[in-house]
A and B are shown apart, each in its own frame.
Chain A
């Protein structure tokens, strides 16, 4: 009569098991139902268009949605496209200026606004205002400030005897004029992220350092910066991706009949031009795929490099 208890035991175990698996299954089901709205949206509006873009990069488009398969021709055409090369160069300059300088300035502002000074809320609001302003409005206002004949900027310069340049139509300057606006309008957003990062650093570290006789500069480089590095890493990845997709300010501020356009247009602007102005959607899709690959490679490199400088506590 020995086996009997065992049998009972197994039976009970089985019962428990099947109960657990149905519970688990219904948990999963509910989890999926909960994320379904987002997942469906993501699939319909992101993943599916992405796959389609990849497919279209091997096609040539006619009028109103007709297309034919042309194999790798769009990609071979890229190799000899001077404008594409120039737009990569422009985007490169844009990234090299806006990302490091933008991060540096927003850390600076965040550290300053993290002090106990009067009216921090007002300052924070002021720095954040450009972020909630529509890019189109920002572009219009800056276009006026930059106007070489009637703009405020050159008017002010004239007081100190300088004849200001043509900020937006001189092909050698226009890109940098736009970069200045982009940095100005981006500081506020990064500042808020850095501020929250700064407030996550325990005060005790600073108190201990102070007792050991460390000055504010030493404390910044030995405590603040290392402990802020995860946030810096996050911000640098986000702003790099954002900078690669740079479009709106060029579209709004540089006239199509200006020779400065070639020296300012970004990859995404060129994509827009081919996709929606020249109705060359196949080639535009190929540009988008190339951009995706470049961003992917750079992000992977950043991820690999983060071990060297990012400290997670």
Chain B
């Protein structure tokens, strides 16, 4: 009998706790000591040290605002945001990227910042104009630029020296890249010349632009994947795999190309400045500008900090976003060598943060860069790219066939 009573009590307690847990608000609120607590959502683990430092500095000025970080891996970031936004539970302040800004701004889940900036006399001229434009939707600014990134050609000096190939420089074009990759490939040692990663930014987008093609037409009504320039660029990219100079798509799925590269199994690959903290650990690695195609081109993209429209602490969130966009915060990012800060004039500090690497290549790229296209349905279009292009990368279907399928599906998304 005692045991039965105990069981009833236990189930009651558990049940009630379950309910309480279900009702408790996991997002922000007033914490016990009267401080305001806001949450900050982002995806890059490598930037955690820099962000923690910035929060520390922020708290020196604003001891009454507590910032709780929410690290969400990139793979799930936008899925989680979408669900959170639908349920009205977005982090107060969060990272936003170009491809999603239109959807979130038009969906009215982000706070327009133009009025706040005007009221506080907060200058938006401190950032590259292209980045402010990227985050302006219907004449309202929604995001304060945080950083920007272009693409560079990373290479392993040791593999180049052993094969007697000169390091890449700004004279390189597509043919020279191919030629070098051929010489650098060493089957006996398990070394590949180049990693033909299937990725759009810093991958086939850059190549399509270099070949004179486009991703989304200027009127925003069609995609350019099925155009001859794009087909040629995709074929060029995949030819590295076909000719045995790159790991296969399957191999790169099992072991990330960046891991193969940093452990000396790959001689060259395209990658962004966000990999600097990782690649600087290996002294053999360095970076150069991308080789040119018919013309020079790289993709440029930058993140911004945005505020959720339904935040309970608008003032605190805005104070934090202002600080994140400040010169001090930019310098923290620059000095830790994490990303190229967007705040004008702080880029030099970034260059000097890792003097042994030729980081200037990324800044040079900004001159001839194309912004990542942003439309309302960028998310689904990217999904179609992955689902469909992978068949060509795996060599199961021809490039001509898959781009037709991709263009059909992507054009339908643009119509919506």
Residue ranges of A at the interface with B (Cβ–Cβ < 8 Å): 34, 36-38, 40-41, 44-45, 63-65, 143, 146-150, 166, 168-170, 255-259, 276-279
* Residues A147 and B255 in contact, CB atoms below 8 Å apart: yes
A262 to B, closest residue via Cβ? B387
Task: Collect the chain B residues with CB atoms within 8 Å of residue A38's CB.
Answer: 11, 15
* A149-B254 in contact given A257-B249, A278-B383 (Cβ < 8 Å): yes
Candidates A44, A257, A276, A278; contact of B253 at CB < 8 Å: A257
From residue 248 to 275 of chain B, which have CB atoms closer than 8 A to chain A?
Answer: 249-251, 253-255
* Residues B12 and A169 in contact, CB atoms below 8 Å apart: no
- 16 CB contacts below 8 A, A to B, read A41-B19, A63-B103, A63-B107, A63-B376, A64-B82, A64-B86, A147-B254, A147-B255, A149-B255, A166-B251, A168-B254, A169-B254, A257-B198, A259-B391, A279-B82, A279-B380
Candidates B106, B380, B391; contact of A278 at CB < 8 Å: B380
Task: Collect the chain B residues with CB atoms within 8 Å of residue A34's CB.
Answer: 8, 12
A34 to B, closest residue via Cβ? B8
* Residues B380 and A258 in contact, CB atoms below 8 Å apart: no
* B297 interfacial contact with A, CB 8 Å: no
* B298 interfacial contact with A, CB 8 Å: no
Q: How far is the CB of B107 from the nearest CB of chain A, in Å?
A: 4
* Residues B106 and A258 in contact, CB atoms below 8 Å apart: no
* Residues A64 and B107 in contact, CB atoms below 8 Å apart: yes
Task: Collect the chain B residues with CB atoms within 8 Å of residue A65's CB.
Answer: 86-87
Task: Collect the chain B residues with CB atoms within 8 Å of residue A150's CB.
Answer: 255
Q: How far is the CB of B394 from the nearest CB of chain A, in Å?
A: 4
* Residues B396 and A259 in contact, CB atoms below 8 Å apart: yes
B416 to A, closest residue via Cβ? A62
A255-B82 Cα distance, complex, nearest whole Å: 22
Q: How far is the CB of B381 from the nearest CB of chain A, in Å?
A: 11
* Residues A166 and B254 in contact, CB atoms below 8 Å apart: yes
Candidates B8, B82, B254; contact of A276 at CB < 8 Å: B82
Candidates B86, B106, B250, B386; contact of A169 at CB < 8 Å: B250
3 closest A-B pairs (Cβ-Cβ)?
A: A37-B15, A169-B250, A255-B253
A279-B379 Cα distance, complex, nearest whole Å: 9
Task: Collect the chain A residues with CB atoms within 8 Å of residue B330's CB.
Answer: none
* Residues A258 and B249 in contact, CB atoms below 8 Å apart: yes
* B314 interfacial contact with A, CB 8 Å: no
B376 to A, closest residue via Cβ? A63
From residue 115 to 170 of chain B, which have CB atoms closer than 8 A to chain A?
Answer: none
* Residues B82 and A166 in contact, CB atoms below 8 Å apart: no
A44-B387 Cα distance, complex, nearest whole Å: 36
Candidates B16, B390, B396; contact of A257 at CB < 8 Å: B390
* Residues B15 and A257 in contact, CB atoms below 8 Å apart: no
New A-B contacts (15) at CB < 8 Å, excluding given A37-B18, A37-B19, A259-B391: A40-B19, A41-B15, A64-B107, A148-B251, A168-B253, A169-B249, A169-B250, A169-B251, A257-B198, A257-B393, A258-B249, A258-B253, A258-B394, A276-B83, A277-B379
Residue ranges of B at the interface with A (Cβ–Cβ < 8 Å): 8, 11-12, 14-16, 18-19, 22, 79, 82-83, 85-87, 103, 106-109, 198, 249-251, 253-255, 376, 379-380, 383, 386-387, 390-391, 393-394, 396
Q: How far is the CB of B120 from the nearest CB of chain A, in Å?
A: 28
Residue of B8, B14, B83, B376 with highest tally of chain A CB at under 10 A: B83
* A277-B383 in contact given A37-B11, A166-B250 (Cβ < 8 Å): yes
A280 to B, closest residue via Cβ? B380
* Residues A37 and B12 in contact, CB atoms below 8 Å apart: yes
* Residues A256 and B254 in contact, CB atoms below 8 Å apart: no
B265 to A, closest residue via Cβ? A149
Task: Collect the chain A residues with CB atoms within 8 Å of residue B12's CB.
Answer: 34, 37
A36-B8 Cα distance, complex, nearest whole Å: 12
A63-B79 Cα distance, complex, nearest whole Å: 12
* Residues B251 and A149 in contact, CB atoms below 8 Å apart: yes
Task: Collect the chain B residues with CB atoms within 8 Å of residue A278's CB.
Answer: 379-380, 383
Q: How far is the CB of A44 from the nearest CB of chain B, in Å?
A: 7
* Residues B85 and A64 in contact, CB atoms below 8 Å apart: yes
A169-B254 Cα distance, complex, nearest whole Å: 7
A63 to B, closest residue via Cβ? B107
Q: How far is the CB of B310 from the nearest CB of chain A, in Å?
A: 11
Task: Collect the chain A residues with CB atoms within 8 Å of residue B83's CB.
Answer: 276
Task: Collect the chain A residues with CB atoms within 8 Å of residue B108's CB.
Answer: 64
A279-B413 Cα distance, complex, nearest whole Å: 12
Q: How far is the CB of A252 from the nearest CB of chain B, in Å?
A: 11
Q: How far is the CB of A46 from the nearest CB of chain B, in Å?
A: 12
* A258-B250 in contact given A63-B106, A64-B86 (Cβ < 8 Å): yes
Task: Collect the chain A residues with CB atoms within 8 Å of residue B251's CB.
Answer: 148-149, 166, 169
A278-B103 Cα distance, complex, nearest whole Å: 13
A278-B391 Cα distance, complex, nearest whole Å: 19
* Residues A170 and B250 in contact, CB atoms below 8 Å apart: yes
Q: How far is the CB of B232 from the nearest CB of chain A, in Å?
A: 22
Task: Collect the chain A residues with CB atoms within 8 Å of residue B19's CB.
Answer: 37, 40-41
Task: Collect the chain B residues with CB atoms within 8 Å of residue A259's CB.
Answer: 249, 390-391, 394, 396
B84 to A, closest residue via Cβ? A64
A117-B230 Cα distance, complex, nearest whole Å: 68
A44-B249 Cα distance, complex, nearest whole Å: 45
Q: How far is the CB of A297 from the nearest CB of chain B, in Å?
A: 31
A63-B377 Cα distance, complex, nearest whole Å: 10
Task: Collect the chain A residues with CB atoms within 8 Å of residue B22's CB.
Answer: 41, 44-45
